[in-house]
Amino acid sequence: MTFSQPLHTLQSQLCSVARKSPSLAKKLHAQIIKAGLNGHEPFSNTLLDAYGKCGLIQDALQLFDALPQRDSVAWASLLTACNLTNLPQPALSISRSLLRTGFHPDHFVFASLVKACANLGPLHVKQGKQVHARFLLSPFSDDDVVKSSLVDMYAKFGLPHYGRAVFDSISSLNSISWTAMISGYARSGRTFEACQLFRETPYRNLFAWTALISGLVQSGNGVDAFHLFVEMRREGVSIVDPLVLSSVVGACANLAVLELGKQIHGLVITLGYESCLFISNSLIDVYAKCSDLVAAKYIFCKMCRKDVVSWTSIIVGTAQHGQAEMALALYDDMVLAGVKPNEVTFVGLMYACSHAGLVSKGRALFRSMVEDYGIKPSLQHYTCLLDLFSRSGHLDEAENLIRTMPFNPDEPTWAALLSACKHHGNTKMAVRIADHLLKIKPEDPSSYILLSNIYAGAGLWEKVSKVRKVMMVMEVKKEPGYSCVDLGKESHVFYAGETSHPMKDEIIGLMRKLDAEMRKRGYVPDTSSVLHDMDQQEKERQLFMHSERLAVAYGLLKAVPQTIIRVVKNLRVCGDCHTVLKLISTIANREIHVRDAKRYHHFKDGNCSCNDFW
Contacts (CB under 7 A) with DNA, residues 498-557: none
Compute how many other C-beta atoms are within 10 angstroms of the C-beta atom of residue 261: 25
Region from 107-115, 189-197, 545-553, 580-588 binding DNA, contact rule CB under 7 A: 107-115
Distance separating alpha carbons of residues 53 and 16, to the nearest angstrom: 10
Region from 21-29, 241-249, 527-535, 553-561 binding DNA, contact rule CB under 7 A: 241-249
Binding of DNA by 155 (CB under 7 A): yes
Distance separating alpha carbons of residues 480 and 582, to the nearest angstrom: 23
**Residue of 13, 44, 95, 183 that binds DNA (CB under 7 A):** 183
Distance separating alpha carbons of residues 566 and 580, to the nearest angstrom: 16
**Residue of 59, 193, 285, 596 that binds DNA (CB under 7 A):** 285
Measured from the CB atom, is 56 or 253 closer to DNA? 253
Shortest distance, position 466 Cβ to DNA, whole Å = 30
**Contact indicator for 443, 415 with CB cutoff of 8 Å:** no
Distance separating alpha carbons of residues 211 and 284, to the nearest angstrom: 23
**Contact indicator for 48, 82 with CB cutoff of 8 Å:** no
H or E stretch at 483:
strand 482-486
Binding positions for DNA, 315-374, rule CB under 7 A = 316, 342-345, 347-348, 351
Binding of DNA by 205 (CB under 7 A): yes
Measured from the CB atom, is 177 or 529 closer to DNA? 177
Measured from the CB atom, is 378 or 607 closer to DNA? 378
Residues 6 or more apart whose CB falls under 8 angstroms from that of 47 comprise 14, 18, 25, 28, 29, 32, 63
3-state SS assignment for residue 356: helix
**Contact indicator for 552, 584 with CB cutoff of 8 Å:** yes
**Contact indicator for 110, 138 with CB cutoff of 8 Å:** yes
End-to-end CA distance of the chain: 65
Measured from the CB atom, is 274 or 343 closer to DNA? 343
Beta bridge partners of 608: 603
Distance separating alpha carbons of residues 25 and 170, to the nearest angstrom: 38
Measured from the CB atom, is 73 or 290 closer to DNA? 73
Distance separating alpha carbons of residues 144 and 169, to the nearest angstrom: 9
**Residue of 67, 99, 195, 277 that binds DNA (CB under 7 A):** 277
**Contact indicator for 64, 97 with CB cutoff of 8 Å:** no
Q: Which amino acid is at 556?
A: L
Binding of DNA by 107 (CB under 7 A): yes
Distance separating alpha carbons of residues 393 and 387, to the nearest angstrom: 10
Compute how many other C-beta atoms are within 10 angstroms of the C-beta atom of residue 25: 26
Phi and psi at 285, nearest 5°, equal -65, -45
Binding of DNA by 375 (CB under 7 A): no
Binding of DNA by 388 (CB under 7 A): no
Binding of DNA by 278 (CB under 7 A): yes
Measured from the CB atom, is 77 or 447 closer to DNA? 77
Shortest distance, position 130 Cβ to DNA, whole Å = 18
Transcribe 70-134 into DSSP letters.
--HHHHHHHHHHHHHHT-HHHHHHHHHHHHHTT----HHHHHHHHHHHHHH-GGGHHHHHHHHHH
**Residue of 54, 244, 290, 594 that binds DNA (CB under 7 A):** 244
Query: Based on the number of CB atoms within 10 Å of its own CB, is 595 exposed (0-12), middle (13-18) or buried (19 or more)?
Result: buried
Q: Which amino acid is at 195?
A: C
Residue count, binding to DNA (CB under 7 A): 77
Region from 69-77, 291-299, 353-361, 600-608 binding DNA, contact rule CB under 7 A: 69-77
Distance separating alpha carbons of residues 328 and 350, to the nearest angstrom: 9
Binding of DNA by 579 (CB under 7 A): no
Binding positions for DNA, 212-231, rule CB under 7 A = 214-215, 217-218
**Residue of 43, 64, 108, 287 that binds DNA (CB under 7 A):** 108
Shortest distance, position 214 Cβ to DNA, whole Å = 3
Region from 55-63, 238-246, 500-508, 555-563 binding DNA, contact rule CB under 7 A: 238-246
Phi and psi at 58, nearest 5°, equal -65, -40
Measured from the CB atom, is 308 or 460 closer to DNA? 308
Measured from the CB atom, is 455 or 600 closer to DNA? 600
3-state SS assignment for residue 586: helix
Measured from the CB atom, is 355 or 566 closer to DNA? 355
Measured from the CB atom, is 239 or 507 closer to DNA? 239
Shortest distance, position 103 Cβ to DNA, whole Å = 13
Binding of DNA by 148 (CB under 7 A): yes
Shortest distance, position 243 Cβ to DNA, whole Å = 4
**Contact indicator for 352, 318 with CB cutoff of 8 Å:** yes
Shortest distance, position 562 Cβ to DNA, whole Å = 29
Measured from the CB atom, is 250 or 555 closer to DNA? 250
Binding positions for DNA, 33-52, rule CB under 7 A = 49
Distance separating alpha carbons of residues 560 and 447, to the nearest angstrom: 39
Measured from the CB atom, is 344 or 458 closer to DNA? 344
Measured from the CB atom, is 247 or 585 closer to DNA? 247
Region from 131-139, 247-255, 567-575, 605-613 binding DNA, contact rule CB under 7 A: 247-255
Residue 514 Cα to chain centre, angstroms: 38
Measured from the CB atom, is 11 or 426 closer to DNA? 11
Shortest distance, position 345 Cβ to DNA, whole Å = 6
Measured from the CB atom, is 148 or 529 closer to DNA? 148
**Residue of 41, 144, 397, 506 that binds DNA (CB under 7 A):** 144
Binding of DNA by 276 (CB under 7 A): yes
Binding of DNA by 595 (CB under 7 A): no
Phi and psi at 357, nearest 5°, equal 70, 25
Distance separating alpha carbons of residues 494 and 490, to the nearest angstrom: 13
Binding of DNA by 156 (CB under 7 A): yes
**Residue of 57, 146, 434, 511 that binds DNA (CB under 7 A):** 146
Binding of DNA by 115 (CB under 7 A): yes
**Residue of 13, 188, 312, 392 that binds DNA (CB under 7 A):** 312
**Residue of 61, 82, 91, 111 that binds DNA (CB under 7 A):** 111
Binding of DNA by 437 (CB under 7 A): no
The number of C-alpha atoms within 13 Å of 552 and in the hemisphere containing its C-beta is: 30
